[in-house]
Amino acid sequence: MSKEKIEKKIKEEIELDPVTADTIAKEFKEHSVAEFFKKNKQMLGLYGKVRTLTTIIHEYVSNSLDACEEANILPEIEVKLDELGEEYYEATVKDNGPGLTEETVGKAFGQLLAGTKFHRMMQARGQQGIGASGCTMLSQSTTGKATKVITGKGDGKVISLELTIDPKMNQAKITNFKKVDKEYRGTAVQAKFKGVIYKDTQGGVLEYLRRTAIANPHAQIKFRDPKGQTVLFKRTLTHIPKKPKEMKPHPLGTTVDDLVTMSKYTESRKAGSFLKNEFDRVGDTSLQKIQNMIRFDLNKDPHQLSWEECEQLIQAFKKVDFIAPSTEGLSPIGEDRIKKSLESIVKPEFVVTLTRKPKIYAGGYSFQIEVGLAYGGNAGERTSSNPEDVKVELMRYANRAPLLFDGGSCAITKAIQSVEWKRYGVRDLDSAPLAVFINFISVHVPYTGAGKQAITDEEEIMEELRLSLMDCGRRMGIYLGAKRREHDRKMKQEMFYKYIPEIATALSSVTKEKKETLITKLEKLVKDKLGLEKLEAKIKSKQVGKEEQEKADDEIGKAVVVEDEGSGDE
């Protein structure tokens, strides 16, 4: 068919069926958030057969931990996985938390973007209210089965039900609702999933629970895998972490849109009292400075604030020297707790931990960094094929929740890679028997996506991560430097011991003293001169003092120079 005929046919078809604004309008459709995430489940981290199963367990366990801690209950969590067929599993997660009410159970497991955490300025593992409902939707879309929930508040009344999600309405559809007279406090959820696989790998469920136990030493977690094998992560602490308090937003972390929205719903009658009541660190002195920089009166009704006036306020905020945001909304694990947990689960030969002072990113969000370095012993990742093959293990956390995926795009990984580990006695980080633990805590974690597996590399966050790692690295370098000196002195000792029998024989013939006595004296002389006994005692107690700092740094520096020169010669 010629070009002219093709163009003629297209023209005729357009004339027969013309596209107008009215025909386009007929194609417009509204979609709920549930429909959106049903088609884009990868945005929730629900992709990859192993990763999806781990993400499911993560969502359920995180909710259980948050609920228990908020109710001041020591968490006891039980996780079970049953293989029902090829790539077909049933997951059961049970906790001893405060339970759910009839009104909230449907929203907690059957309505996306519904929950208690989204609008609260306080540290929590979950933030959007998507996770558990996303799991219900995945179960429904892969198996056609409903999710079963049993929950009780410990008042002798237990609720049992099954639920699915109406994706068009983003609402829970509850069936088989029952009330049972039974003493039970907590929540148990059971759901079936297809297209997932259980594997005992670094991205698997067992490793996720292991890392969760490390960052939550107050929790007891029991896991039964599909083969029936049970692993119990016992709690190493019997007191619950300090509960974070809800904070007000800080002026420096507020946008114009935030200010406009908040002003419409405030109960304050004056813009000045609105700023004092709704924001953190705003007092009379700050208000006076703000008033001097804007072109309207702060006695104005805040409900009448225009966009331009809110822009004036935001510009004024940037010029006021506010006190740093409150840190009451943060709840760090603590150096001693991290150390005890790593010693209990990782079982290294040396551990150093650090909890830095709170800092601010993006102008007004407070955050805190916790670091732990565990060296030697069982630290580091090992392959099942060759247990001697060791590589560094990076343990990334956000608000105590493990981040197992998307490590390459995470600020934590980038910070670790940016540190010169040779300066601290680690010549090859990739093959070191080292576990690097980092917990980023904040009222607002800047995740790179809805999957919540990587943290964005904000400038302030990267700087604080590097400083934390280098601080711990220096202390580890002292230990490794002392250990290296012990090794060198032992090598010298062996060399001297090799000639002691001959020297003792010669001295015995001259002095007529027993050869055995001379050997004992000479061995003691060598030990005293090399100072091995004192050094061994320090290393065994892991109390290498500050006086070793200079010597350790010198020897580390020399080792780096020698190594660099050697590689250059080759």
Q: Are both 51 and 163 inside the same structural domain?
A: yes
Whether residues 60 and 188 share a domain: the answer is yes
User: What's the pLDDT at 85?
Assistant: 95
| Confidence tier at 410 by pLDDT (50, 70, 90) | very high
Other residues' Cβ atoms within 10 Å of the Cβ of residue 314? 16
Decide: 78 and 93 in contact? Cβ < 8 Å: yes
Between 519 and 133, residue with greater pLDDT: 133
- Give the C-alpha separation, 456 to 436, whole Å: 19
pLDDT at 493: 64
- pLDDT of the residue at 316: 95
Residues 58 and 159 in one domain: yes
Examine the domain organization and report whether 54 and 189 are in the same domain. Answer: yes
Same domain, 463 and 485: no
Q: Which among 439, 471, 503 is the end of a domain?
A: 471
521-527 mean pLDDT? 74
Residue 177 forms part of a structural domain = yes
388 and 490 in a common domain:
no
CA distance 243 to 179: 32
Same domain, 411 and 461: yes
Instruction: Kindly indicate the confidence band of residue 211, based on its pLDDT and cuts at 50, 70 and 90.
Output: very high
Q: Are 80 and 103 in contact (CB under 8 A)?
A: no
Which positions ≥6 away from 113 have C-beta within 8 Å?
A: 33, 128, 129, 130, 170
pLDDT tens profile 90-127: 999 999 999 999 988 988 888 876 554 545 566 776 55
Domain membership flag for residue 426: yes
CATH code where residue 137 lies: 3.30.565.10
Distance CA(112)–CA(131), nearest Å, equals: 8
**Region at 399 (left for phi over 0; alpha for psi -120 to 50; beta for the rest):** left
Mean pLDDT value across residues 299-327: 92
Mean pLDDT (the chain) is 83
In a domain, 4, yes or no: no
Whether residue 183 is contained in a domain is answered as yes
pLDDT at 456: 94
Which of 178, 211, 227 is where one domain is finished? 227
In a domain, 246, yes or no: no
pLDDT, residue 512, reads: 74
Per-residue pLDDT at 443 exceeds 90: no
Residue 8 lies in a domain: no
- Residue 131 has φ and ψ, to the nearest 5°, of -50, -65
Query: Do residue 88 and residue 146 come from a single domain?
Result: yes
**CA atoms of 164 and 185, how far apart (whole Å):** 23
Residue 538 is predicted with a pLDDT of 57
Please state whether beta strands 365-375 and 359-361 pair in parallel, antiparallel, or not at all (unpaired): antiparallel
Residue-level pLDDT at 552: 44
Domain membership of residue 192 (yes or no) is: yes
pLDDT at 33 over 70: no
Query: Would residue 301 count as lying in a domain?
Result: yes
Can you tell me the distance from the alpha carbon of 473 to that of 423, in angstroms, rounded to the nearest whole number?
8
Does 78 share its domain with 175? yes
In angstroms, the CA 307 to CA 409 distance is 36
Could you tell me the CATH number of the domain that includes residue 439? 3.30.230.10
Task: Give the CATH number for residue 276.
Answer: 1.10.8.50
pLDDT tens string 266-278: 999 999 999 999 9
Answer whether residue 533 shows pLDDT above 80: no
Q: What is the pLDDT of residues 57-95, one digit of tens each?
A: 999 999 999 899 989 999 999 999 999 999 999 999 999
- Percent of the chain exceeding pLDDT 70 equals 78
Q: What is the pLDDT of residue 555?
A: 44
pLDDT of residue 550: 46
- Domain match, 431 and 359 both: yes
Residues 344 and 441 in one domain: yes
H helices of 383-458, in order, are 411-418
Structural domain containing residue 531: 478-569
Tell me, yes or no, whether 341 and 306 share the same domain: no
Q: What is the tally of structural domains in the chain?
A: 4
> Which pLDDT band, with edges at 50, 70 and 90, does 329 fall under?
confident
User: For residue 67, how many C-alpha atoms fall within 13 Å in the half-sphere facing its CB?
Assistant: 23
Residue where a domain terminates, one of 414, 443, 471: 471
What is the structure's pLDDT at 79? 97
Taking the CA atoms of residue 373, residue 378, residue 383 and residue 386 in that order, the dihedral angle to the nearest 10 degrees is 130
